[in-house]
């Protein structure tokens, strides 16, 4: 690996030079089946022809003008996202962290409008919202916060999925918002308990809090719905953050608002030089078009159920196997011990996987998998885990 890059990643000993669909090839021509998708990014796989064509055409037409001027593709993308989500307004940035920073700023403005001098946001234990300073402070992971103290204050942490814990802190008059993930990804692929999002929505309405949903990993069909909050009927957040799968590899983030959050930002209150430029917005608009055209929302749900069920059956009876959980193509396999070694073992078998929360194998494969490719992912995961336990 390069001596000229800051050592911020523990990279695997492989360099990829080409991709197609769910496959990647390294410098030696070795093929790998990608069950990580760039960490929930390339939901349409690699080198998708529609995305490639849109990018090439737009690059030859107009890449960037800045937000000092109107951007037609940005307007079209914003309208489509609003229609799919039920949200009303969109701010475009470049990443999930940026989208969450915008959400945090909206919560602060909401608090100031209520004449609260030191507004606070309720956030969840084991959450992940990004590595910029405000998003890092909101994150529920002490290990990645270490060394960056003092962290930004104004966050009150509660257990994820525990509506009683949220109710208990409602007496604090400085709380103005709740920030949560419909499925905690970095926290171990933990879906919100049934009814939890609806209960949070009701509490936010009673308390005049903003309900802010981090859909950076769960959004854009990953969970078998366009957005993770849509697994519960009647729930619409005030603020929603997006990124990852929205651009299929092109850097784009979005912060969407509805209801009382729509008029908090005004000219000069937030901005982004590159956010929402013609290139990225055309790519994202094409992503949405392909997902809808090819029926990939329901396909993600079907494939996820198939992979999870096959793994559950294949690991049944294995001492150390705890459970398979998740939604759609966001799958976590909890084991009884630290499992980071499995990433390298899977790589040797031509499979890309990820381990999060120490002992949870995380699968985030693309939605364009065939049934046979989905079965192959499941079978390789089963084999790698069983062989590892047999050797230990």
Contact by Cβ (8 Å): 381, 361:
yes
The residues near 145 (Cβ < 8 Å, ≥ 6 apart) are 136, 137, 139, 151
The token duo for 7 is 């050592």
Q: Report the distance separating Cα 259 and Cα 239, nearest Å.
A: 9
- Residues annotated as part of the active site: 128, 214, 244
Cα distances (Å, whole numbers) of residue 50 to 44, 45, 66, 100, 261: 10, 11, 25, 29, 34
3-state SS, residue 252: coil
DSSP 75: H
Q: Three-state SS across 83-103?
A: HHHCCCEEEEECCHHHHHHHH
List CB contacts of 351: < 8 A, sequence separation 6 or more: 32, 33, 35, 377, 380, 381, 384
The Cα 355–Cα 331 span in angstroms is 11
Residue 45's alpha-carbon distances to 41, 174, 219, 303, 354, in angstroms, are: 9, 44, 16, 15, 17
- Alpha-carbon span 128 to 147, nearest angstrom: 17
**Which phi and psi (to 5°) does residue 42 adopt?**
-85, 70
């Amino acid at each position: 690996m390069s001596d000229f890059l800051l050592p911020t990643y523990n990279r695997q000993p492989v360099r990829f030079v080409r991709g197609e669909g769910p496959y990647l090839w390294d410098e030696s021509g070795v093929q790998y089946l990608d069950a990580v998708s760039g960490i929930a990014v390339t939901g349409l796989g690699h080198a998708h022809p529609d995305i490639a064509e849109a990018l090439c055409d737009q690059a030859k037409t107009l890449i960037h003008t800045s937000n000092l001027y109107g951007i037609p593709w940005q307007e079209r993308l914003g309208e489509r996202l609003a229609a799919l989500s039920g949200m009303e307004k969109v701010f475009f940035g470049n990443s999930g962290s940026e989208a969450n920073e915008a959400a945090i700023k909206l919560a602060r403005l909401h608090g100031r409008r209520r004449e609260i001098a030191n507004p606070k946001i309720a956030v969840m234990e084991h959450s992940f919202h990004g590595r910029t300073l405000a998003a890092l402070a909101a994150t529920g992971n002490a290990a990645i916060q270490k060394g960056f103290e003092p962290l930004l204050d104004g966050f009150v942490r509660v257990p994820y999925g525990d509506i009683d814990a949220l109710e208990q802190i409602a007496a604090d008059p400085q709380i103005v918002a709740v920030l949560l993930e419909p499925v905690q990804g970095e926290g171990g692929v933990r879906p919100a308990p049934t009814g939890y999002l609806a209960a949070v929505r009701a509490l936010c309405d009673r308390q005049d809090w903003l309900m802010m949903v981090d859909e950076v990993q769960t959004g854009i069909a990953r969970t078998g719905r366009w957005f993770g909050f849509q697994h519960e009927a009647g729930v619409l957040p005030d603020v929603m953050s997006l990124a990852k799968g929205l651009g299929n590899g092109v850097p784009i983030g979005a912060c969407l608002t509805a209801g009382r959050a729509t008029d908090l930002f005004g000219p000069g209150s937030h901005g982004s030089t590159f956010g929402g430029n013609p290139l990225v917005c055309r790519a994202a608009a094409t992503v949405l078009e392909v997902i809808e055209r090819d029926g990939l929302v329901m396909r993600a749900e079907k494939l996820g159920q198939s992979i999870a069920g096959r793994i559950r059956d294949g690991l049944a009876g294995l001492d150390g196997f705890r459970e398979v959980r998740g939604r759609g193509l966001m799958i976590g396999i909890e084991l009884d011990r630290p499992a980071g070694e499995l990433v390298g073992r899977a790589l040797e078998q031509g499979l890309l996987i990820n381990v999060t929360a120490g002992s949870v194998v995380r699968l985030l494969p693309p939605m364009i998998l065939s049934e046979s490719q989905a079965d192959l992912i499941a079978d390789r995961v089963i084999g790698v885990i069983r062989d590892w336990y047999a050797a230990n």
